[in-house]
A and B are shown apart, each in its own frame.
Chain A
Amino acid sequence: MSQAVITPAIAPAPSRPRPGTSRLGDRVFAGMAGGAGIFVLVLLGAIIVMLFIGGLPAFRAFGPGFLVSTDWDPVRQVFGAAVPIYGTVVTSLLALILAVPLAFGIAYTLTELAPMWLRRPVGTAVELLAAIPSIIYGMWGFFVIVPIMSQHLQPAVIDTFDGIPVLQDLFAGPPFGTGLLTAALILAVMVIPFIAATMRDVFLTVPAVYKESAYGVGCTTWEVMRSIVLPYTRTSVVGGVMLGLGRALGETMAVTFVIGNSDRIATSLFGPGNTISSLVALEFPESPAGSLKLASLLALGFILFVIAFIVLAISRLLLRPRLHA
């Protein structure tokens, strides 16, 4: 290095090896950083393997039938995954149906409609919705939304659809306030900020020239959104929706409070049900170590992890080109 001091600054030094490659400090630091990177990979692998090993007794005892069996009978020691999988999928998809239009509306407002001074505070407020802990949503759902559902919304809906063939079955049952639809409603509020924030961020990546050209030929704000912004950001918007789905699938505490906890498949959206995570949270305390029930819960956890991993992986693949250029 002493040579470098003597060498005039302008003189090129092409033959000198890049400083640092051979130094001990650099090697240790690079090793630590690389090791930490590999640790993350190992961590994911360990989560999958551990959940699988934990669930192995259940997979062995029930075979592939575990996935389609609707039994959940601790007395007979027979367990199946169909009911919680059904509940997880139904509540998550319903939540998306409710959340996506609202999240899109928020992103559209925040990028095109709202005056500049309003965008930052409202954007922050929506993001704060994402910061509120899950358990708080559970209490809010149980003490605020459930009474509204049971006293106002559900009786009205049941009366309205009474006598209409499909709808009367879809919205049947006593108005308890809890159930699949209430869980989906809470989930929708919880995933809106994730979807809205992603949509807003990708809408902002559309080059201004494209939008200005469209405005220049007389397009309305909505036409610019529909014909320019949405086609340009389509992949990432789907990625944002998948991110919301991934969040909804594994949500535990909020759902546990309001879903009504039943181990039967309800055909009515007002009916009670359970999800993989709510079942695990509720049944775990009554599942002694080494029992078949605990193994079944871990097997459910493994199934949930596989579903969530696939959804989140798709989300990342769709989002990467836009957000991490």
Chain B
Amino acid sequence: MSDMPMATAGTPRPAHDRDANVAVRLGRRRRRIDRVLAGFCWLAMLIALAALASILVTLVWNGLGGMRLSVLTEVTKPPGSHGGLLNAIVGSLMQSAIGTLIGTPIGLLVGTYLSEYAAGSALGNAVRFVSDVLLSAPSILIGLFIYVLVVEPSGGFSGIAGCLALAVLVIPIVVRTTEDMLRLIPTSLREAAMALGAPKWKTIVFVCYRAARDGIVTGILLAIARVAGETAPLLFTSLGNLNWSLDLTKPMSSLPVTIYQYAGSAFEDWVQLAWVGALLITAGVLALNILARSALRRRT
């Protein structure tokens, strides 16, 4: 920009001439830097998109070949006998569902507390801080925690221990979205409800929750998507089970743990099933994410 009008090459005095030349060169250099860095940044974005594409293509390429009806109708079997993943899928669904059912009400209440009761209070700030830290805390440690708290005292691995570990992971996700969504509700809406004589709890439950419903549902969907793919916390809690079992007091199979066991095995058909499971779980998790995002977009 700076080089455009300055380049009056015909000026008689050499000092001005030199200044103009410097300005031209400086301007070119600045724009070159700008373009080089822009190029690098576009490249960075392409690398990230290429990684995503590579992951998805690998999953479809390796997973689609093994996709048979028997994957959904048969349980895991010894290598060589072409089993399915039914027990793992059902186990994952059960543990994710129960974990979400336990974690959601607590997360909802905490989010409500932070948004409606704890504005500016020290306790509220502490709770928000701790919840944010738990949101990113290593999930494997949640598994170890439930192991020490539940599995050891109860004398064995169990599906319910897996549910509890997942519930701990659900809570901070629901807290975050609930608080954010409740904060978006205009104060005038609350005041209108209160002016009609509604007590605070009714205002929250029947006015605020209803107004923030889409956002809160988004949070729950994201929480389900997150815990459905978790492996590490289940290794020490529900352990995995190669047989059909719906008993929550016994070790329970789950899709991620089965994938982990199968992918690392030396049997070709097990590795193949691991890819099928990986494709299934990624498709489910990404679908939930996209669903949650589009629900939120409609709202904001």
A contact set with B: CB distance below 8 Å? 1, 4, 19-20, 23, 25-26, 28-30, 32-41, 43-44, 46-47, 50-51, 53-54, 101-106, 108-110, 113-114, 122, 124-129, 131-140, 142-144, 189, 192-193, 196, 218, 220-223, 243, 246-247, 249-253, 257, 277, 280-281, 284-285, 289, 297-298, 301, 304-305, 308-309, 312-313, 315-316, 324
Contacts and interface: CB of A to CB of B under 8 A. Distances in A.
Contacts of B140: 250, 252, 277, 280-281, 301
B138 A251 contact: yes
Contacts of A113: 38, 41-42
A313 B137 CA distance: 10
- The interface residues of chain B, by DSSP majority, are classed as helix
Contacts of B112: 33
A114 to B, nearest CB: 8
Contacts of B293: 124, 127
B45 A105 contact: yes
B137 A312 contact: yes
15 contacts: A19-B197, A25-B202, A37-B127, A40-B171, A46-B149, A47-B145, A101-B44, A110-B45, A127-B293, A277-B138, A281-B232, A298-B144, A304-B141, A308-B141, A312-B137
Contact of A30 (B30, B201, B289): B201
Contacts of B51: 129, 189
| Interface range, B side | 35 or more
Nearest to B171: A40
A290 to B, nearest CB: 8
B42 A308 contact: no
A84 to B, nearest CB: 12
A124 B48 CA distance: 12
B285 interface: yes
A301 B48 contact: no
Contacts of A53: 148
B286 A131 contact: yes
Nearest to B30: A220
Contact of A252 (B47, B52, B232): B232
Max count, chain A CB within 10 A of own CB: residue among B51, B112, B144, B145: B144
Interface in B244-292: 256, 259-260, 263-264, 274-275, 278, 281-282, 285-286, 289-290
A284 to B, nearest CB: 6
Nearest to B109: A36
Contacts of A189: 48, 51
B127 A41 contact: yes
B200 A109 contact: no
Contacts, number: 268
Interface string B28-71: 00110110011011111101110110110011001000000000
Given A108-B37, A127-B293, A316-B132, 9 more contacts: A47-B141, A128-B52, A129-B48, A131-B225, A139-B274, A252-B139, A253-B231, A285-B235, A308-B138
Contact of A133 (B149, B204, B231, B263): B231
The 4 lowest CB-CB distance pairs between A and B, nearest first, are: A250-B138, A133-B229, A105-B44, A29-B201
B1 interface: yes
Contact of A125 (B52, B110, B152): B52
A281 B285 CA distance: 23
B197 to A, nearest CB: 5
Nearest to B179: A324
Contact of A144 (B33, B54, B236): B54
Interface stretch (B13-21, B77-85, B115-123, B211-219): B115-123
A139 B52 CA distance: 14
Contacts of A277: 138, 140, 232
B41 A109 contact: yes
A250 B140 CA distance: 7
B260 A135 contact: yes
Contacts of A36: 106, 109-110, 113
Contacts of A223: 30, 34
A257 B274 CA distance: 14
A131 B285 contact: yes
Contacts of A47: 137, 141-142, 145
Contacts of A4: 197
Contacts of B118: 37
Nearest to B180: A324
A36 to B, nearest CB: 4
A133 B57 CA distance: 16
Q: Which of B141, B202, B204, B264 has the most CB of A within 10 A?
A: B141
Given A33-B113, A37-B110, A43-B134, A140 B141 contact: no
A133 B285 contact: yes
B2 interface: yes
